[in-house]
Structure 1
């Protein structure tokens, strides 16, 4: 999950003040990479992480006495003496952090960013320093918004994440493509779905739980789910638009319901389609001797998992693996 989603979730229309910190460059090894972001709220609350906990308190202290709207703080982790940021921290790189004070206008832009991401669009974010510092958000559709002076270099829009030197602007620009939250749709609200939904939400997925049984599919059982939809398979499949980036897990434990769902979902494009249960059972659901390559059965990594919690861990790990594989492929293409 991109840290910016945690930051956006912590901001609402009543928010005011605070500092947004973003890791814009890492040289060498570090616990987190470019794009890691963190919100320092006026009351001392901290949202997100920039490292494994090595830098956050120091940065918080620096920010307390600073009146600067924009700052750059560099942490050199390469030293080995006890007074340095080196070996004792577990990292061995140089981390550059840009901080930005949040005024009312910036908060409104962040709320707009949150709304755009919720429509399923990705957004290119740019930040710059120098004589005319600023930030800009460029959605796939619609007009850019932010606080930005000068032109927008088109060639840096293809960068997934990192620093870019713009000749037009005469300086470096940090570019990051922010994607919507990864979405997981779970069909089945049995007891074993509860740890899966909880772990997946904790890993940054926007989770929707679907089931025909109101007594199971409700907020008390699935507080971490963003949506809970009640209905039989034919009703659910008319209410949910499965998108190419979505992940889906079928786990109703009812053969007829699983079969109805799989017969429709097998023909849709999605990032991941997993079915709980053995390969033999899934083949029976399909009415075939073989299982298509795009269907994962049984769902989850082969870690000899037993019990609801371990199986949930194996499935969430596989979802993360699939998500990162897609990112790696995109980065190679760029």
Structure 2
């Protein structure tokens, strides 16, 4: 649900009743991943999506029912279901949905969700843990976990909760959930985790959904050329925090790149040495000038970055490899360099070239081949864990 955090945060501040449906597991060719959500308020307004349109109507009705009954419910939709065609899930996939009512008067779950939504909406790292499979009376219970291990809420039942869940030892379960959430938050991943109700691997099994909200990943574009402007725009579209860096102040200006989050005048290698870049960061080197490229790439290829691509002709690429070998880089480090940058789309214009580069970044992130899907036998949706994540405001930190 953190993928629609900004809107739901506003609903919480306005005191709206709402129900939220969240994808908790998928199989086959399902278009959305765990964590994707659709929410419906008391007036019938809907935001988000759980299936790219396939089952939205049925899930909308489930949200309205949850608002009426006040009970969380888990439902499955799949191609093998008798009503698969009726609800539109004819793509061959299956999805499990958890629908949770969040009335304004709720003093247990709502404050936890509101805190998680606020963190995600304002770009603060946090993980939301919810029970998505287990005793009916525990479905939807939530815990907000911060990077330092502090947390709000509890996955255990209230003292007056009827049924077998009364015997669940909440503190032990909460501690286990915090440990699992911190590990996933550090990696910027959203995933499900199986635990025992006692907080270990024993007792009645529970499935937890951990949604990670982390700041958007970075795209650093080196070289303030015309192609950079188009790449900035598509980088923002994909959810990156985009920086343009160039040592030439006449070219590196905010006026030339109004959509960039920041424009920096500095030698590229010096900026990379001084800035924060992690395993989700992508570097696009468009300078194709050895005095800029070599010191920069020598450093970049030794760091655990998600993607390093460099523009230039094949002749430039061969010369670049020779210089980098002379600088001491080995074959494994050089194999990480995407050069010439981008996929072969026959691109000519800056916009087409930016699309080519962005396509290679996505393929690298998702484990795609870059080949046409027509006639291919490969899966349409790849399930390849990768460190490149998109944050909750379009991009969630990431999805498993």
Residues 240, 282 of structure 1: alpha-carbon distance in 2 compared, 3 angstrom cutoff: farther
The C-alpha deviation readout for 1:43-83, integer Å capped at 9, x for no partner, is 76644321121222332344345232533343344357896
Partner of 2:144: 137
Say if 2:297 is the partner of 1:297.
no
Instruction: Tell me, yes or no, if the aligned pair for 2:23 and 2:33 is still in contact at 8 Å.
Output: yes
The C-alpha deviation readout for 1:166-212, integer Å capped at 9, x for no partner, is 34273532333526333222223333223322323333333333345
Residues 175, 55 of structure 1: alpha-carbon distance in 2 compared, 3 angstrom cutoff: same
Q: CA deviation at 1:263?
A: 4.4
Say if 2:38 is the partner of 1:38.
yes
Match of 2:5 among 8, 28, 48: 8
* TM-score computed with the length of structure 1 as normaliser: 0.76
Q: 1:17-166 counterparts in 2 under 5 A? A: 17=16, 18-40=18-40, 46-64=46-64, 66-67=67-68, 68=70, 70-78=72-80, 84-85=86-87, 89-102=89-102, 103=104, 105=111, 106-113=113-120, 118=124, 123=127, 125-128=129-132, 130-133=136-139, 134-149=141-156, 150=170, 151-152=173-174, 154=176, 157=180, 161-162=191-192, 164=194, 166=196
Answer with 1 or 2: which has the greater Rg: 2
Match of 1:324 among 358, 366, 379: 366
Q: CA deviation at 1:257?
A: 3.7
Instruction: Tell me, yes or no, if the aligned pair for 1:259 and 1:285 is still in contact at 8 Å.
Output: yes
Partner of 1:233: 267
Q: CA deviation at 1:125?
A: 2.9
Q: CA deviation at 1:271?
A: 1.8
Q: How far apart, CA to CA, are the structure 2 residues paired with 1:327 and 1:75? A: 19
The C-alpha deviation readout for 1:21-40, integer Å capped at 9, x for no partner, is 21113355422233322344
Say if 2:254 is the partner of 1:218.
yes
Q: 1:129-208 counterparts in 2 under 5 A? A: 130-133=136-139, 134-149=141-156, 150=170, 151-152=173-174, 154=176, 157=180, 161-162=191-192, 164=194, 166-168=196-198, 170-176=204-210, 178=212, 180=214, 181-208=216-243
The C-alpha deviation readout for 1:140-164, integer Å capped at 9, x for no partner, is 4321334432223739938862363
Q: How far apart, CA to CA, are the structure 2 residues paired with 1:40 and 1:12? A: 13
Stretches of structure 2 that go unaligned for 5 or more consecutive residues are 105-109, 157-169, 185-189, 326-330, 368-381, 388-399
Instruction: Tell me, yes or no, if the aligned pair for 2:73 and 2:100 is still in contact at 8 Å.
Output: yes
Q: 1:257-276 counterparts in 2 under 5 A? A: 257-276=292-311
* TM-score computed with the length of structure 2 as normaliser: 0.65
Instruction: Tell me, yes or no, if the aligned pair for 1:109 and 1:146 is still in contact at 8 Å.
Output: no
> Which is strand-richer, 1 or 2?
1
